[in-house]
Structure 1
Amino acid sequence: MAARSGVGRAALLVSALTALSTVLGLVRDAVIAAVYGAGAQLDAWFVALGLSSILLGVLGTSLNRAVTPQVAREADAESTGEGMPCAGHPGWWTATVVGTVALGVVGVLLGVAAGPVSAVLAPGLAATDDGTLVLLVRVVLLATVLIAATDLLAGLAQGHGVFRWAALQGVPFNVVMIAAAALLGPRLGVVALAWGFVVGSLLRMLLQLWPAWRHRWRLRARWDLGGPAWREVRAMVPALMVGQAVVNVNTLVDRAVASTVEEGAVTAIFLGWRLVNLPQVLVVAALMAPLYPAMGSAAARGARELRGLVHRGTGVTLTVLVPVVALLAAVPHEVVSLAFGRGGFDDEAVAATATAVLWFLPALLAVGWRQVVVSASYAVGDTRGPVAVSILAMVVNVVGDLTLAPVMGVPGIVLATSVSLVLAAVLTSLLVARRHRLLAGRVARGQLSRATVGGAAAGLAGWLASRLLGDLHDLVVVAAVGAVVLAVQQGVLHLLRAPERHVARDVLARLR
């Protein structure tokens, strides 16, 4: 068993490694946007990705979320000694076999029915499809089993306190995707992305096998459908599947409705969310990689320790994400232009994506906050409450899409998504606070009020700075406004003597 590091140090390691993968992911998206532009081809690609995401989210992610706390508890209880093979994880193995077989079967069935499935996914694109969308759907489905196995292998490593390899998995994947788009895209069209997706997914999975071999974790295939470990996982999976399905159905509905609005709308929404979600991936997802297994272990030792981890997670989330929101609110057009404004991605596409970024901003804070409180709920075995909240949020999103899209277009679709995510964050927080006493109302209100004051001041200062900078290069404007926003936010936190003012100092201290 690997030696465990503290949550803070592990989060810093994961953040640094995830940053490398994420930067490559941004380069990948920039290259794809430049090669294909915002049009029907790229819209079709993002729709095909949506189907892959819902399959992986419904089954693969659900199994991973159910089994990781169990692996963490088993790893803590191992008495084999440092450097000795672990005792094995029958629940993890059974989940891996069941998940990959089930995904393979479902993938084959959906591939056979790719035509009608495509018509449901994107009615606006399917009406004029020349077969490209159907082919993309079939090729992308090949990768679902590989990605599910990758995620479960990463969960095994994280349960043992090993985080670096999961954080690095995006590097080979993004390198392959960049090469596919830049070298093969001009000749093969958007189909090059689909085959790059399959090859990149295979490399991701192979990378996750290395820590298992290095630490001598027992990867012996075992069916134990009647064992207590699988029964525990099986009890959590149905509710998790519903919750994950709701999240991914929202994405599919957004893209289906967007396909009927105008050409390039799917691309604007996808890339807008990619930019907005980038800091969430860099910070919150990286924080949750070590924090979620730690929550699973802490749940067995009492609510007080788990509550401390929750407050730590929400405090770091707000402190890091608020200045990002202020920056994007002050200079959305400059950020989008800097990221994607080249090649076939013209000024009209930049403007549409910048609009989506603005309307997505409330969702950024909501997603980051909710990820922490939902993980706490899962750690204590409560999946039904968050799922019920997710279903309600899905209804709000779908109704909002159908009513606002015809009137507002892309902003209406994004607004519906943001409202539904904010609602889900609020209701889940109330659930965790009242049912499990894992979120103290006084602490949460203090964190939110200080974040609001600091964010408002930073956003206003950033907007004024952008007006003074005028028509300078986008990189100069974004860098200068970012510096102003960060300085003002930190200044407000120090004036308020907020506990969150020490986050930056703690990060620097752990880097020494």
Structure 2
Amino acid sequence: MASGFFSRAARALRPSHQHSAFSATLLLMVAVMLSRVIGYVREAYIAWAFGAGTQTDAYVAAFTLPDWLNYILAGGTASITFISIYTRYLSQDKQQDAKKTFSAIITIITTILVIMIVFAEFYTTAFTRWYFRGFTEDQVLLCAQLTRILLPAQIFFYVGGVVSAVLLSKRLFLLPALGPLLYNVFIIVGGVVGARRYGISSLAIGALVGAFAGPFLVNALGAAKTDIGFRLNFDFRDQGFREWIKLSIPLMLGVSLVTADDWILRFFASHGAGDITRLNYAKRLFAVPIAVLGQATGQASLPFFARLFGEGKREEFARLVNESVYKLVAASLLMSAWMMAAALPIIDLVYRRGRFHFQDSRETAVYFFWFALSLALWSAQALYSRAFYAAGNTLTPMVASTLLTIASIPIYSVLYRTHGVVGLAIASDAGILLNTLAMVILLDRGGLVRVRDLQWKEIGKAFLTAVAAGAAAYYASYMLPVSTSKAQNLAAFAVRTMVWAVVAWIGLKVMRSELPGAMRRKKATAEPSTEIAEDTSAGV
């Protein structure tokens, strides 16, 4: 049995191994977890070496313009929209059409992206001064310098994203999973090697090298072995390219709160020294469970969602979406209870060292507490949005998301004026709540995924269990309060975690929840797509 397990694990770790929905989800969850662990090391190093002040605020803010540029050209979602088209071509045995469309998307959009980057390099300082109005002149100049270093990385992110779509469409998940790992590693290496000579600019240099080595080079080397067939192609009339543009235009013109949330937080928080940095530390740590629970599952599920929908299996499609959402939401509710109850010891143990002090931990923990409240919403949104993309509909969700993002800005403004930086974290929760509700309603009214078929009773059991476990862990904090002592804080973390785990386990048992069994049940998640895996692999 043991030898069989290790044999299957070895096969799954081969770059050429084609995954099922279950193995892909498991692989991406592990990879995302490793990436977030390395991401934690990255953030912990930055906190240790540079603390939380005006310099780190400038560094975090420097990612804003590159993110905008990437978003305008649908760089962040290029692989999502391309997967549906490429997967359909493969299922219809149109290999040459797939290669031509891939080449056109790479050639044309990369050319436009290069032109935009050159233009942006000239106006970086003006943009920084306009957007971050609370920055001092020294911060503006530093932020502009860092931005200019980061801008070319968007070429590697974009091309790497499209190339990874080819691998995902062929159910090759290992190499796309490695890209973020290398990206984070190079940021750390850049800081460690170059901090003395280049200061905080060394982090931006590391990010640029990491974007090339991780998201781009690893995927390109993997795709080269799959007969990717890239050729320079400026054919604007290519049918697949025009379809991709049609799907991507809503993503280019629209704004989703999933992306815009960070931009809005930075805009309002730029007036206080260290506020952007502390918000960023809290949000990045909060992104760990989001990525593991929501994004990894969504990324792994998209090719299978797309294939089910493309083959007209609408009932199987809807059932798989609802089953995935139920598991994610239920698990997220339990995770939120733990994160909120243990917020301060988590933050203090993760970040406090070097120039990041206990007071920084206290402030960051408050933001982390409020972010943690919305974990289930962020996780569900990741799956619901991919259900739309799999159905070939990007216009509806992006129009709704854009309108809701615009409507949410006054909420951020009011809560910031009344509650300070804490109000921004609360506003983030309110915004993602509206966004997720909109996705649910639109999918239901469109007849794609019926909300009534979601396992509401089981979600209710998880919610009640989470409330009980979170409350018990919170009151356990009075036994061992957090202080400046690392040993005491580790003990406080252990006590809160143990109380949460025990109460959660008892609660699920008393409620007779199906969640533990559902999470262990491989066939429940992968059943509709297992047929796909068998059909596809039959000809390999």
Please state if 1:94 is matched with 2:108: no
Which of 355, 360, 364 is matched with 1:344 structurally?
A: 355
Please state if 1:46 is matched with 2:60: yes
Please state if 1:8 is matched with 2:5: no
CA distance in 1 between counterparts of 2:217 and 2:521 reads 35
Change (3 A) 1:75 1:489: farther
Which residue matches 1:431? 442
CA displacement, residues 3-54 of structure 1 (integer Å, 9 cap, x when unaligned) = 6432112100111122222211110110011100000111011111122222
Check the 8 A contact 1:25/1:170 in 2, yes or no: no
Segment drifting more, 205-214 vs 439-448: 439-448
CA displacement, residues 67-126 of structure 1 (integer Å, 9 cap, x when unaligned) = 11112222333388xxxxx87433232222233222222111111011110012311115
Please state if 1:32 is matched with 2:43: no
CA distance in 1 between counterparts of 2:458 and 2:69 reads 36
CA displacement, residues 300-337 of structure 1 (integer Å, 9 cap, x when unaligned) = 22210111221122122123322221111102111111
CA distance in 2 between counterparts of 1:328 and 1:276 reads 9
CA distance in 2 between counterparts of 1:468 and 1:484 reads 12
Which residue matches 2:163? 153
Which residue matches 2:329? 318
Check the 8 A contact 2:257/2:431 in 1, yes or no: no
Output the amino acid matched with 1:494. K
1:451-470 aligned at under 5 Å gives the runs 451-470=462-481
Segment drifting more, 500-509 vs 225-234: 500-509
Q: State the secondary structure of the residue aligned to 1:266.
A: helix
Check the 8 A contact 1:100/1:149 in 2, yes or no: yes
CA displacement, residues 113-171 of structure 1 (integer Å, 9 cap, x when unaligned) = 11110012311115453621111111111211111111111111111101111111122
Check the 8 A contact 1:54/1:249 in 2, yes or no: no
Change (3 A) 1:330 1:277: same
Check the 8 A contact 1:273/1:357 in 2, yes or no: yes
| TM score, norm. by length of structure 2 | 0.88
Number of residue-to-residue matches in the alignment: 504
Q: Once the two structures are aligned, what percentage of the paired residues are identical? A: 22
Check the 8 A contact 2:443/2:449 in 1, yes or no: yes
Which of 320, 323, 342 is matched with 1:309 structurally?
A: 320
Change (3 A) 1:160 1:346: same
Check the 8 A contact 2:42/2:188 in 1, yes or no: yes
Please state if 1:115 is matched with 2:125: yes
Superposition deviation, residue 192 in structure 1: 1.0
Which of 182, 206, 215 is matched with 2:217 structurally?
A: 206
CA displacement, residues 192-234 of structure 1 (integer Å, 9 cap, x when unaligned) = 1111111111111111112212333322333342222122212
Check the 8 A contact 2:65/2:147 in 1, yes or no: yes
CA distance in 1 between counterparts of 2:53 and 2:47 reads 10
Superposition deviation, residue 372 in structure 1: 0.7
Please state if 1:21 is matched with 2:35: yes
Which residue matches 2:178? 168
Check the 8 A contact 1:396/1:416 in 2, yes or no: no
Segment drifting more, 169-178 vs 500-509: 500-509
Which residue matches 2:516? 501
Please state if 1:66 is matched with 2:81: yes
Which residue matches 1:83? none
Which residue matches 2:297? 287
Change (3 A) 1:421 1:308: same
Change (3 A) 1:445 1:434: farther
Superposition deviation, residue 486 in structure 1: 3.5
Change (3 A) 1:466 1:439: farther
- Gaps of at least 5 residues in structure 1 are 81-85
CA distance in 2 between counterparts of 1:460 and 1:320 reads 17
Which residue matches 1:331? 342
Change (3 A) 1:214 1:475: farther
CA distance in 1 between counterparts of 2:330 and 2:99 reads 37
Change (3 A) 1:58 1:444: farther
Which residue matches 1:403? 414
CA distance in 2 between counterparts of 1:469 and 1:480 reads 8
CA distance in 2 between counterparts of 1:89 and 1:423 reads 39
Moved over 6 A (4+): 507-510
Change (3 A) 1:439 1:478: farther
Check the 8 A contact 1:490/1:501 in 2, yes or no: no
Which residue matches 2:394? 383
Which residue matches 1:225? 236
CA distance in 1 between counterparts of 2:23 and 2:401 reads 32
Change (3 A) 1:12 1:113: same
Check the 8 A contact 1:38/1:349 in 2, yes or no: yes
Q: CA RMSD in A?
A: 2.4
CA distance in 2 between counterparts of 1:247 and 1:57 reads 12
Change (3 A) 1:77 1:443: same
CA distance in 2 between counterparts of 1:498 and 1:208 reads 41
Check the 8 A contact 2:62/2:146 in 1, yes or no: yes
CA distance in 2 between counterparts of 1:283 and 1:249 reads 21
Which of 67, 77, 80 is matched with 2:92 structurally?
A: 77
Superposition deviation, residue 246 in structure 1: 5.3
Segment drifting more, 340-349 vs 56-65: 56-65
Q: State the secondary structure of the residue aligned to 1:468.
A: coil
CA distance in 2 between counterparts of 1:16 and 1:297 reads 24
Q: State the secondary structure of the residue aligned to 1:467.
A: coil
Check the 8 A contact 1:54/1:245 in 2, yes or no: no
Output the amino acid matched with 2:245. R
Q: State the secondary structure of the residue aligned to 1:450.
A: helix
CA distance in 2 between counterparts of 1:483 and 1:79 reads 55
Superposition deviation, residue 480 in structure 1: 4.2
- Gaps of at least 5 residues in structure 2 are 1-14, 526-540
Change (3 A) 1:7 1:355: same
Superposition deviation, residue 470 in structure 1: 4.3
Change (3 A) 1:243 1:361: farther
Change (3 A) 1:364 1:58: farther
Q: State the secondary structure of the residue aligned to 1:436.
A: coil
Check the 8 A contact 2:326/2:454 in 1, yes or no: no
